[in-house]
Amino acid sequence: MLIGYARISKADGSQVLDLQHDALKKAGVSSKHVYQDTASGKADDRAGLAACLRSLRKGDVLVVWKLDRLGRSLRHLVNTVHDLADRGVGFKVITGQGAEIDTTTAAGKLVFGIFASLAEFERELIRERTTAGLASARSRGRVGGRKHALSKSKVRRAQAAIGKPETVVSDLCDELGVTRSTLYRYVGPDGELRPQGEQVISLG
């Protein structure tokens, strides 16, 4: 059975579903078997799509007008179609980018395989950028991308000063530009390093 899914992004009348419904009907999808949403493609709570995916059974084919009607992103699209394949459900795109995708045919599976490879490539690029970004942040005194309130030299200054009888903690805080509670996250009242301070000192 052919099951259709249609989506538009706006509910203000500037977009209509007629074009998609006509295309789905021309592709052989009965109007009784078309699910639809009026929501952004990035929305997680698309009730029509959720109902559509639940309705699909082994041997069915999910048909969409264009590729971007289904997925929030390339990764989401690939994961969704892989899930369908595991359930024995096909996927077909009528027009636009990806119109060659029809996982019920060998050629269509090949095209979708290229899309899946691109999604994996995208994941690797994001992973590499994240790793490089974190390494760069750590080299600048950050952990997890968040800048420390005290630099290594300020932590050392706090260690040296905080345990001395003549040190007024409020004056030291003013000098370092932090609050008392922030200071004590880095250095204890006797000058001992606390976890935040140990992180800063361990940075290269």
CA dihedral sign of residues 70, 74, 80, 82: positive
For the beta sheet containing 34-38, the strands, ordered from the edge strand earlier in sequence to the opposite edge, are 34-38, 2-8, 61-64, 90-93
Look up 9 and say whether it is catalytic: yes
Other Cβ atoms less than 10 A from the Cβ of 103: the count is: 22
Structure tokens at 166: 């003549």
Cα gap 64→41, rounded to integer Å = 13
Selecting among 9, 31, 55, 181, the annotated active-site residue is 9
Catalytic residues: 9
